[in-house]
Structure formats: C-alpha cells, structure tokens
Amino acid sequence: MYVLSAIVSLTLLGLFLGLLLGIAAKYLKVESSPIVDELESLLPGSQCGQCGFPGCRPAAEALAEGNAPATICPPGGSALAEQIAALLGLDLDLSDVKEPELLVARVSEDTCTGCTRCFKVCPTDAIVGAPKQIHAVVADACIACKKCVDVCPTECLQMHPVEVTLRNWRWAKPVALFKESEASNAVC
Amino acid sequence: MLSFFPKPLIRGGVHADEHKAATAALPIAYNFPLPKKLYIPLQQHVGKPAEPLIMVGEKVLKGQLLAYSQGLISAPVHAPSSGVILDVNDYPAPHPSALPIRTIVLETDGKDEWLETQVAADPFQLNPEEISLRVGAAGIVGLGGATFPTAVKLNMGRENHVDTLIINGSECEPYLCCDDRLMQERAGEIIDGVRLMLYGMETEHAVVAIEDNKPEAYLAMRAAAEPYASIKVIQIPTRYPMGWDRQLIRYVTGKEVPVGCRSSEIGVTIHNVGTAHAVHKAIRHGHPLLSRVVTVAGGAVKRPMNVEVPFGTLISELFDFCEVSLDETARIVMGGPMMGDSLPHTALPTVKATSGILALTQSELKNTDEQPCIRCASCVSVCPAGLRPLDMANNIRINQLDAAVDLGLKDCISCGCCSYICPSNIPLVQYFKYASGEVIARQQAQHKSEQTKRLIDARNARMERIAQQQREEEEARLAAKAERERLKAEQEALA
Amino acid sequence: MIAHMKPSSGAHVGANTSVSRIMWQVMLAISPATVFGLLCFGWPALNLFVITVLSAVVFEAFCVRLKGRVAKPVIMDGSAVLTGWLLAMTLPPWAPWWIGVVGSGLAIILGKQVYGGLGQNLFNPAMLARVALLISFPIEMTTWANVSPLFFSHSPGLIESWHITFSELKNIDASTGATTLGFIKTEFSQNRLLTDILKDYSGFRNFIGGTRGSLGETSTLLLGLGGVWLIRQNVIQWHIPVSLLLTVALLAGVFHGMDSEHYAGPLLHLNSGALMCVAFFIATDYVTSPNTPAGQLVFGAGCGLLIFVIRTWGAYPEGAGFAVLLMNSATPLIDHYIKPRIYGRDRKGKPLEIPKS
C-alpha cells in the first residue's frame, strides 16, 4: 500500500512539474537574437579563409552549430576566442591552445616589379604603392591572410614572424607545476 | 569620516636579510677608470625616447647634449665624457630580454674635457619655473628606479600647489646602499638640492624620511638640515617596501593616494635623495646628469662597493673593477633583489635607473622548486597593496585573466613581497607581470581586430563605389551611344 | 655560471621557509602532547599511532602514483605524515588497528586527494576522517581507555598491546570508562546536577592531561604550549585560536553564570575534549581557514560557537569535529566577503575620493 501511494504521488508530482516547465518554456521564452549574426559581427570579416571555411559567415554558422571550436579564427587570437566562448557559453581552455606565431607580410624590395596585383587582393588595404613602383606593407594593418603571397608573380612577398622588440616584449607565463614528461616516466 | 579603527600606517611588507654590511661601511669609490667606449641608450627614462642631434664622427665634450627630449614626458641625454661619436644604432638594452635599443656609442678620449656652462650666482633669484627648466635640460630623472622625468614632477607639484615634499631616503631594497652612502658623504649637497626643489615647486615643507637602519645617514642629514626650518629629517621603520612612494606618503602624511591619481593631487610630491643630489649639481654647477653611484654587491663579488660610474659603462667593465667571479654568479640582477630584473649577460650598459648591479650566487637565490600552494596566506599578509596574490595567481594559471583583473591585478606594484615569502616558491610576481602584459596584448589585439573590420568595411565601400561609378559610366556611355545613333538616324531620315 | 638565461623576475631572494619546514614545525609543536599521550596510554596507543601515520603515508604514495607522478618528493613535504599524526591524536588511544587504517584512508583519499591533493581540499582531512569514523563506528570511537602509563605493573605490556590493537579488547569494563564531557552528558540525562556530577572532578588533572580522552588531546598544558610556540614562530596567527577559545569561554561563562547546575563552566570547557588541539592545530589549518585576519576571527568565533552549541545541546558530548567541518564549508564564503582593502580604494573597490584641502 505504502509503495503504491508513493509511486502514484511521485508520478503525479513529476507530471505536474513537467507540465509547469512546459508552460514556462512556451510562455516565458526569451527571444534570442540570431546567434549566427552576432558571431559574424565578432569575426574580422576579412574572408581570409585561414580557418578552413570559405569565409567568415560560414565560419560563424559552423560555430553556431557547434562544429567549430571557439579558437577557430587565427587572426582574432585568444582575445576573440574568449569573446566567442563567452557568447556561446563554452568553457574555453586556452592552456592547450598554442598561440599561433604572429606573422606579417613583407615586400622584398629587390624583386618587386610594382605589378599592383597584391594590393588589389589585400582585404585590409595594408599594401600601399603605385603601378611600376615598389610596394610596401603597413605592418599594423596586415592580418597575415597570405592572399598577397599567393598572387605575387615574383615571390617577393613573404610572410615573416612579427619581430619582438622592447615595445611588444612580454613576460612569459611561468611553466606549469607538473610537466607531462615527468608523468610519462615516473619512477618512485 | 567615521572609522572604528584608525587606518594602519604601514601595511604588509617583509623584513628581508639586508646584506648591506659589506658595502655600507665603505666610502663611495670615485676612482673608476673611464671606459674606452660608452654605450648610451636614448631611452633611459619613462616616456618618449630622446632624439639624437649629433653626427657619427662628431667630437663632443663632457656634458654636451647628445639627444634632445621629445614631447612632454621625456628627458635629454648628455655626453658622460669627452670623445668622438662612433655609432648611433641598435645595441642590447639593460633589460631582461636584452633586446636592441637605439644607442649612441661614444669613444672617450681620456681628457674628460667639460663643456663650458654658465650657472646662476644665486639660483634663488631665478624664476621658480626656471629651476624646473634647468632640471629638465640636465636630463634628471627619478633616480630611485622609476626614472620619471623630474622636471615634469616639479611642474606638477607647482601647478597643484603641493604643500609637502617628501625626500625618499628609505632605500628599503636589500643589498643596495648607494643612497645611504650618498647621504653620509654628501648630506649638505642633498639638502641644498632639497631647498632648490622646494623653491622650484613653491612648496613650504620638506620631510626627509630615512629608515632607522641607517643611523649615520640620519645624523648627517639632520645636521645638514639643522639651519633650515622648512626641512625636517625623520626616521622611519625598516621594513620593505617602505620606499614605495605611496606607502611612504601614507606613513609620513597619513594620506592615501587614490587609485588613478598622482600624489601631487593630494598635495604631496616625492623625490629620491639621489635626485635631490642631481638637482644640486645641475643648478649649482651646471652639470647635467652624467653618472650615478651604483652598488655592486652579491655573493660573487670579491670587492663589493658603491662606485660612481658614467652612464653607458658596460656592466662587464664594472664587474672587472669589482672583481666579480662569473663562474660563481648564478644570476645578474639590475636593481635590488626584490624588484630588480635579471640580465642575460654583462655586455649591457649602466643607465640612469641602475641603482645596483648584483651578482648573486646560487645559494643566495630563492629556491625555484615550485610546490603546490598551501593557502598559507602569507602573501596576503605581506602585500602592501592589500591584494590576495594566491587567488590572483590561481586565476592566471587557468587563464582567467578577467578574474585576476577583478581581484586587483592592476593595483599590483610588483614589489616582490609575495614571491619572497611564499613557502611553496611560486613565482607570483612573474605570474602578475605575465598577466599584465597579456591583458595589454589582448586589448591591442582587440583594437587591431576592430581596426581591421573598419578597413575592410572601408575597402568594401570603396569597391562598391568604384563598381557603381563604372556602372554609371557604362550606362552613360551606352546612353550617349544610343543618343548618337538616334541623331544619326534622324539626320539620315532627314537627308 | 649563470644558470638562468631566461628572464626571471623578483623576488630573487627568499625567506627561509618552505612547505616541509612548516609541516615539521607543526609536528614539533604537537610532539610534547603526543609523547605525553603515548606515555599515558602505553603500548596500544603507540601501535595505533604508528599504524595511522604509516598508512597515511602509504595512501598518499598510492594516490600520487595513481596520478602518474613521483611519490617521494610529495611524501617528503610532510603533509601526509602530519595528517596521519593529527588524526591519530584525535582517536581513542586503544582503538583497533583498522580504525587507524580506515581513518587514514578517509583522510588522505576522500579528504585530500580526490580534491587534487595538497592545498585543494575544502575540509580538514583529519577532522573529516574523525567525524566519518565517529558516525560509522560509534562504539570503537567512544571506547576510552583508562590512563595506564607505560611500564606500570597494571598497564598492558608489549605482547598484550598487540592483542588489544590487532584482535580485541578483553574485559572492556575494567580498563575503560567515560571522558569528562561524556560523563557529564550521561549524568545530565539522569537528571543529576553539575555539582553532584563533578564531585571527583579535578581541574588540575585535566589541565596536565592525566585523564581519559583521545590519544593526544588530553593535555591542555602541552597543547597550549605547543600552540603558543607556533604563534611565536609565526607559523600560525593568533586570530583563530584566540577567537575560538574566547568564544567558548565567554558562552560557557554566560550560561554557567545564569545556571551553574546545568551548564559547565568555562574552565571545564577549555580543559576538556578536543578543544585545545582543535583551536591550535586543526582550525588553523591554512588550506581550510580564511586568508585574512578578520576572516580568521570570524572563523574562530564560528567554530567556538558551534562547539559550545553541540557540546551543550547536541547529541554528541564533543562537537569540535563537526564544528570545524561546518566552518570549513563557510571558508570560501568568508573569504569572498571579508577581503583586504586595496590601497587607494574603498572597501567596495572604488577609487578613494581626493580629499578636499
């Protein structure tokens, strides 16, 4: 008898609460703005394709569907990854993410013919120059999409790592307490 | 304001082994042989680097201006001795990374020939503004280590009608005792410098604060200040970091400088004793800042001493003079052992900020064998800024930088008390320096990302405009062509 | 030679301190009380003590190896030894061997390693184990041996002690009895009055420690001396012990003053049970107590209040373990609300206003 009443009352309670939840979900629904648009507005919008998707919109769609990690965008770096993770409510573990080496395009003045092909493809207008004149890259505006490298007929445009100077030198993070190497060949 | 407990005047801090005995008893050595070459960086101060105005191959005299200050916060650089300019190029900076910095290389001729200068017979007849102008022109910066241009600080003091000038003679870092010796040997000149600063700032009172582990310096300074009612010399407790300007201001005046404000806004300005001495030399003798007293100490130093060296002297030459055993040296530190940074080698010049060069042996260094945090909270109790270093470091370790900022990362002064006291040998200060740099880097990255978006939008708009223009031109061309054909047809019809 | 070419930041020098040094200092501070306890309760107590400490070390090593790390440096930090030691001090001196082993397992595995090891645990491992044992094995955990000092004729010898520790205690009634707090609790339930109950009570004997009780908790004097030495050595701060003891004394004083026949006085409270041991060595555990002096005062007062409440009105005669665990769970909350004021900011973290001159 006790067992029966327990089963009945708990079942009723469950049904009632489930009904409440269902009603709440229907009537108190929060209108969420289209997440893909928000994601796209965060991404640089240069359609550089470094993420492996054809452009920023497809990348945003993949992010919204959960098919891409928050760290998808190399030009955005960890700052953007954090914003994406915050927007999607993801737990972001940057500790395993290796910061990609920062690159910048540079024109080799010996071989540049002034063909203007590179600055036509540059999405951020980071290459300046005029026809038949040697071009130059504005390093601050370069996003390392490598489009100019692909079109340069004389291979005078190359990607170089961003030079470390006293201005952008930073203290390194102290190394983690326990290294993996210790774990693999532990001897008591 | 109602408060049940008076605010404590000293918070946190540690009492570190002083290691000053070896050098504090010796007089300052003035017999350092003039180096053959001096490497003078163009930025030895906070602010914009100086701009060189000499040519390679030019002959210069001692005290001659080599590079002028640029902008509001900057300081000029002068020739520490007479000689010929060999090069103006990038050379390693006295910085933990030893990355290149723009440097003037001066080959000395050994004559040490002064540039002739004129000095005011009585500087107290000058305009007070003239004092800061001359201090600025002499390239004087804060010699306690912050290297903030002194003239700017004097001006801020005058403009804010500061009522107290504090002269920081605490020298709380272990090992260092260059200020101690300077106060013992040059008390009169320092007090004269203080009077000149008071005059230049139009300020009434000066308080010279000296830690009570320097009784000789205290007595010398008190005797020198005796004739002047406006200058008071006091003893303060020996406790690192007593020399942190804001700690000292609170101890001396009871006032706390609000976050984001300069001390002059609450009516206090603070200068180092070495700076006061430099002001004396600049105003009374017309000598710009060319050299400073440097403490060379540490277990690997055979002849530890305080020695006056011209700026640009390579540390290797200083080490030769003081007989440093590089084999025993485990770490070279510029500055004190609490706040100083390590240097990777000795081919680096001494600069205005170089209060000391330490050659520390392995046994003097803190153990680097890191262990888990046991939450002993020693770091909380020693933090003079009232932070919780253990929580900040834990957040930084898992890359929660925003949480660390919320806990007060930006209020950290990197004084090193937490690292010093930590029984688990956690490099707390390095965590905070890393995180501060990372926060700045991320802000810059975000800024760049916004700029990139702006550039792309601008480019797209331009492309669109060009396409639109081409379309319109095409339409116009087609319309013109149609018009021509119509006219032609009409004419043909008429004919 | 310059060992570290890579940039290293200050402080380059350090205080003469380390985790293991702190642990050994604490062990040194509790050793007088421990030795006294071992002398009072003889060979069976020594057996239990050795078993508990050893098994704590073995469990620690096991867990560390399970994580794939080298065990020796972790053991050498002394934290496992100290946990086992503190646990042994709180056990009934003649408890069987498996109480020590199970207790150490609970303390090290459930109390410490599942959280991630040293510094990560929310609850004090020794108290967690003690409370878990008390709830699970109430008979073993409340069988208090009579004081039977080593080498006395009627005390158990070495061989007999192995019987007590490894098989069972024969003739329980002849060699055991109740602790002061337990006795008072039972007699209150018989409606006897305090003056009547405490006819044979000797405050002095309780102060020295020659009474029934846990292995290392009986001597108020030696525990207090060890604790004061730790404070003098700057290993622990005075805030927790002082606020804890003061709270208990004050509450006991007030209630005793109101009704001296039904509430024990402050001296009796301070002199009995685990109070001294908890105040100086358990509640002051760095990992599980608040970080700031003000927070520590609150924590100590909270522990004292709960101890008094449980002792006076609770079902158990002694509530120190429960009190510490409850306050441990409040530690993150205390640390969240009681934090130091940052220089140049007010308590809420806003920059101070510039005073008008």
Each residue of B64-99: pLDDT tens digit?
Answer: 999 999 888 999 999 999 999 999 999 999 999 999
Q: How far off is chain C from A182, nearest CA to CA, in Å?
A: 7
> Do residues C129 and C104 touch, judged by C-beta distance below 8 A?
yes
CB contacts under 8 A, C 126-165 vs A, are none
Are C4 and B330 within 8 A, CB to CB? yes
Length of chain C: 357
Are C12 and B331 within 8 A, CB to CB? yes
Are B366 and C12 within 8 A, CB to CB? yes
The Cα A6–Cα A19 span in angstroms is 20
Using a CB-CB cut-off of 8 Å, the residues of chain A touching C67 are 183
Is the pLDDT score of C315 beyond 90? no
Residue % of chain B over a pLDDT of 70 = 98
CB contacts under 8 A, B 212-241 vs C, are none
- CB atoms inside a 10 Å sphere around CB C57: 19
Mean pLDDT of B256-260: 92
Are B448 and A165 within 8 A, CB to CB? no
B304: contact with C, CB 8 A cutoff: no
- CB atoms inside a 10 Å sphere around CB B57: 9
The Cα B176–Cα B242 span in angstroms is 14
Region of poorest pLDDT, from B164-168, B429-433, C200-204: C200-204
Q: What mean pLDDT value characterizes chain A? A: 80
Is the pLDDT score of A186 beyond 50? no
Q: How far off is chain A from B409, nearest CA to CA, in Å?
A: 15
| Helices B178-185, B215-225: inter-axial angle, 10-degree rounding | 40
Residue A100 phi, psi dihedral angles, 5° rounding:
-65, 145
B388: contact with C, CB 8 A cutoff: yes
B484: contact with C, CB 8 A cutoff: no
Binned at pLDDT 50, 70 and 90, residue C9 comes out as: confident
Question: Which subunits count as partners of chain A given 3+ CB pairs below 8 Å?
Answer: B, C
Binned at pLDDT 50, 70 and 90, residue A176 comes out as: low
Mean pLDDT of B471-493: 91
Q: What is the pLDDT of residue A177?
A: 59
Q: How far off is chain A from C42, nearest CA to CA, in Å?
A: 35
A186: contact with C, CB 8 A cutoff: yes
Q: What is the pLDDT of residue C2?
A: 54
Give the H/E segment covering residue B227. Answer: none
The Cα B428–Cα B436 span in angstroms is 12
> Do residues B453 and C42 touch, judged by C-beta distance below 8 A?
no
The Cα A25–Cα C273 span in angstroms is 56
Highest mean pLDDT among A29-33, A93-97, C2-6: A29-33
- Pick from B163, B387, B427: which is nearest to C342 by CB? B387
Question: Which subunits count as partners of chain C given 3+ CB pairs below 8 Å?
Answer: A, B
Q: What mean pLDDT value characterizes chain B? A: 92
Mean pLDDT of C253-263: 92
- Pick from B95, B433, B445: which is nearest to A77 by CB? B445
- CB atoms inside a 10 Å sphere around CB B51: 15
Is the pLDDT score of A50 beyond 90? no
Using a CB-CB cut-off of 8 Å, the residues of chain A touching B458 are 125
Q: How far off is chain A from C135, nearest CA to CA, in Å?
A: 30
Are C70 and A187 within 8 A, CB to CB? yes
Q: What is the pLDDT of residue A11?
A: 95
Binned at pLDDT 50, 70 and 90, residue C1 comes out as: very low
Q: How far off is chain C from A188, nearest CA to CA, in Å?
A: 5
CB contacts under 8 A, B 259-288 vs C, are 259-261, 265-267
Is the pLDDT score of C283 beyond 80? yes
CB contacts under 8 A, A 59-118 vs C, are none
- Give the contacts of A128 (CB within 8 A, at least 6 positions apart): A119, A135, A136, A138
Mean pLDDT of A44-72: 82
Cβ-Cβ contacts under 8 Å between A and C: the total is 21
Q: What is the pLDDT of residue C356?
A: 65
A177: contact with C, CB 8 A cutoff: no
Q: How far off is chain B from A133, nearest CA to CA, in Å?
A: 21
Are B434 and A173 within 8 A, CB to CB? yes
Is the pLDDT score of C189 beyond 60? yes
Q: What is the pLDDT of residue A183?
A: 43
Binding-site residues on chain A for chain B (CB distance < 8 A) = 44-46, 75-80, 82, 93-95, 123-126, 140-141, 143, 164-166, 168-174, 176-177
pLDDT digits (tens, 9 = 90+) for B303-355: 999 999 999 999 999 999 999 999 999 999 999 999 999 999 999 999 999 99
Binned at pLDDT 50, 70 and 90, residue A181 comes out as: very low
Angle at CA B384, nearest 5°, toward B383 and B387? 50
B154: contact with C, CB 8 A cutoff: no
Burial class from Cβ neighbours inside 10 Å (0-12, 13-18, 19+) for residue C267 reads middle
Mean pLDDT of B391-396: 93
- Pick from C6, C7, C65: which is nearest to A188 by CB? C65
Exposed e or buried b per residue across B268-300, where buried means at least 16 C-beta atoms within 10 angstroms of its C-beta: bbbbbbbbbbbbbbbbeebbbbbbbbbbbbbbb
Is the pLDDT score of B415 beyond 80? yes
Q: What is the pLDDT of residue C322?
A: 95
Binned at pLDDT 50, 70 and 90, residue A53 comes out as: confident
Mean pLDDT of C93-115: 94
- Pick from A94, A169, A174: which is nearest to B97 by CB? A169
